[in-house]
Amino acid sequence: QFATNYQSGRNGMVHLFEWKWDDIAAECENFLGPYGYAGLQVSPVNENAVIGNRPWWERYQPISYKLNTRSGNEEQFANMVRRCNNVGVRTYVDVVFNHMAANGGTTGTGGSNADPSSKSFPAVPFSSLDFNPTCAITNYADPTNVRNCELVGLRDLNQGNSWVRDKIVDFLNHLTDLGVAGFRVDAAKHMWPGDLEAIYGRLNNLNTNHGFSSGAKPYIFQEVIDLGGEAISKSEYTGLGAITEFRHSDSIGKVFRGKDQLRYLTNWGTSWGFAASDRSLVFVDNHDNQRGHGAGGADVLTYKVPKQYKMASAFMLAHPFGTPRIMSSFAFDDTDQGPPTTDGHNIASPQFNSDNSCSGGWVCEHRWRQIYNMVAFRNAVGDAQLQNWWDNGSNQISFSRGSQGFVAFNNDNYDLNSSLQTGLSAGTYCDVISGTKSGSGCTGKTITVGSDGRANIYIGSSEEDGVVAIHVNAKL
């Protein structure tokens, strides 16, 4: 439950928010596999309520556990999981079982009907007996209110009920049979840890027909928002699985927005209040806080502030702490707006440009050179120790990962121009932020490391990117 089940030599998970299964299958083969990504998180796979102008959040209103959504049907999902596993990319499903749909959600994306006002979901089936009594979450200082009442009106399932547990366990085990490698547990904070423990305890091992080792358990990362100051703590959940470490998102945003100095990153990790590294799923932004839902507030960095976003993402991927997840967004102005569609309902496929980037309304941060090349950096450095920390006493820092890789950042409003210890062997390297190694050449800056391991590092304050990165696989 704590191991990611990544294939060895791969790292980095991407959340392909609202992508269709057929498009993801192709993306695994054409991009994620070849570029070294280890995993992907999908939007909820089970049938959800069809809501008015199709906001993205309708997918968090379950109608049944049939695998039928705007992303595709069960056959398409199963095919996607297999094709992704075949190229070494694991699938993690966003599972929503704290609740069912709220009032108003009467028809599902698979055609099932429900009557949330009487707590009737015949396609599961669930009846009013399977839910907690109606009350609203109003007080985060009261664990019983948070766990037994309704989150924004969503009908609150009682996970203490054996029928409810059976249905949830069947749903999760069905996904495991199809070859998924783990789960993001939506709204875990709103469920009792004891109930989750009982459910997780009944989960099947991963499907060995998909290349998983025998006895491997699903990787579980639970959505528990804990920025402090509330009654419920993430430590109630870290014994059961990993948690989504919202403090990482909050802190990294503040740092790269210049509200905190980069030199303080020297003790990045549990000293910042984060859960242990192997219990922390870390991210710069997620599908909620990039648009003001959930938690994190105004300091969260998104694709809308690209220079700082790429710096924060590069830091997250270069640093050994946690299991990083990259957000892959669709462009939005309105915070309720759903993904690009062809006709207001059917999701449109992303289009791809010659420089790997996307169009058609898709942002595809995972296809930004500065980000996918840092996934390759993370793969190249493996578990090498963080060494050779340097800072200028303010917002210029650098460090190496053993003798495998080196990064430097400049978030000051003046140039970085220093001779720094890279930890790397002598030679000329391609900076994978400004370019890519191509054959024996480099499309970006080159950095020359001397026999003493030092290199002259220059990052102008007005450059497009405030970071340079080199690693053993980018040696020319």
Q: Which residues are identified as catalytic?
A: 186, 223
- Judged by beta carbon, residue 194 or residue 297, the one nearer ligand AAO is 297
- Which range in 151-159, 206-214, 311-319, 465-473 contacts ligand AAO by CB under 6 A? 151-159
Cα–chain center distance at 166: 28
- Which range in 147-155, 407-415, 451-459, 463-471 contacts ligand AAO by CB under 6 A? 147-155
Q: Rule CB under 6 A: say whether 142 interacts with ligand AAO.
A: no
Q: Rule CB under 6 A: say whether 227 interacts with ligand AAO.
A: yes
- Interacting residue with ligand AAO among 123, 295, 331, 384 (CB under 6 A): 295
- Interacting residue with ligand AAO among 143, 153, 160, 435 (CB under 6 A): 153
Q: Rule CB under 6 A: say whether 96 interacts with ligand AAO.
A: yes
- Which range in 78-86, 184-192, 272-280, 373-381 contacts ligand AAO by CB under 6 A? 184-192
Question: d(Cα 199, Cα 112) in Å, to the nearest integer?
Answer: 26
Phi-psi region of 439 (alpha: psi -120 to 50; beta: other; left: phi over 0): left
- The angle formed by the CA atoms of residues 230, 303 and 3, to the nearest 5 degrees, is 60
Q: Rule CB under 6 A: say whether 185 interacts with ligand AAO.
A: no
Q: Rule CB under 6 A: say whether 225 interacts with ligand AAO.
A: yes
Question: d(Cα 38, Cα 31) in Å, to the nearest integer?
Answer: 11
| Token reading at 299 | 């300091």
DSSP state of 338: -
Place of tokens 């959800």: 48
Question: d(Cα 53, Cα 20) in Å, to the nearest integer?
Answer: 18
DSSP 387-417: EEEEE-SSSEEEEEETTTEEEEEE-SSS-EE
- Give the binding-site size for ligand AAO (rule: CB under 6 A): 24
Residue 145 · residue 139 · CB < 8 Å: yes
Q: Rule CB under 6 A: say whether 186 interacts with ligand AAO.
A: yes
- Interacting residue with ligand AAO among 194, 239, 297, 450 (CB under 6 A): 297
Helix (H, G, I), strand (E, B) or coil at 136: strand
In the complex, the smallest distance separating the C-beta of residue 285 from ligand AAO, rounded to whole angstroms, is 12
* Cα–Cα distance list, 398 to 157, 344, 390, 442 (Å): 49, 47, 5, 22
Q: Rule CB under 6 A: say whether 198 interacts with ligand AAO.
A: no
| Alpha helices, DSSP H, located in 142-240 | 143-148, 162-177, 193-200
> What does DSSP say about strands 90-95 and 39-42: parallel, antiparallel, or unpaired?
parallel
In the complex, the smallest distance separating the C-beta of residue 124 from ligand AAO, rounded to whole angstroms, is 17
| Token reading at 163 | 């029928």
Pattern 43-72, ligand AAO, x by CB under 6 A: --------------xx-xx-----------
| Alpha helices, DSSP H, located in 287-342 | 306-318
Reference 326, options 266, 374, 361; nearest CA is: 374
Question: d(Cα 134, Cα 77) in Å, to the nearest integer?
Answer: 34
- Judged by beta carbon, residue 68 or residue 249, the one nearer ligand AAO is 249
- Interacting residue with ligand AAO among 28, 80, 93, 102 (CB under 6 A): 102
- Judged by beta carbon, residue 237 or residue 368, the one nearer ligand AAO is 237
- Which range in 2-10, 19-27, 206-214, 222-230 contacts ligand AAO by CB under 6 A? 222-230
Question: d(Cα 11, Cα 449) in Å, to the nearest integer?
Answer: 26
| Token reading at 115 | 């009557």
Q: Rule CB under 6 A: say whether 192 interacts with ligand AAO.
A: no
Q: Rule CB under 6 A: say whether 273 interacts with ligand AAO.
A: no
Q: Rule CB under 6 A: say whether 223 interacts with ligand AAO.
A: yes
In the complex, the smallest distance separating the C-beta of residue 299 from ligand AAO, rounded to whole angstroms, is 9
Q: Rule CB under 6 A: say whether 408 interacts with ligand AAO.
A: no
Pattern 122-141, ligand AAO, x by CB under 6 A: ------------------x-
Determine phi and psi for 161, rounding to 5 degrees: -85, 130
- Judged by beta carbon, residue 67 or residue 151, the one nearer ligand AAO is 151
For the chain, the C-alpha Rg in angstroms (whole number) is 22
Q: Which residues pair with 400 in a beta bridge?
A: 387, 406
- Interacting residue with ligand AAO among 273, 294, 402, 453 (CB under 6 A): 294
- Judged by beta carbon, residue 191 or residue 318, the one nearer ligand AAO is 191
Site for ligand AAO, rule CB under 6 A: 57-58, 60-61, 96, 102, 140, 151-154, 186-187, 189, 223, 225, 227, 230, 288, 293-297
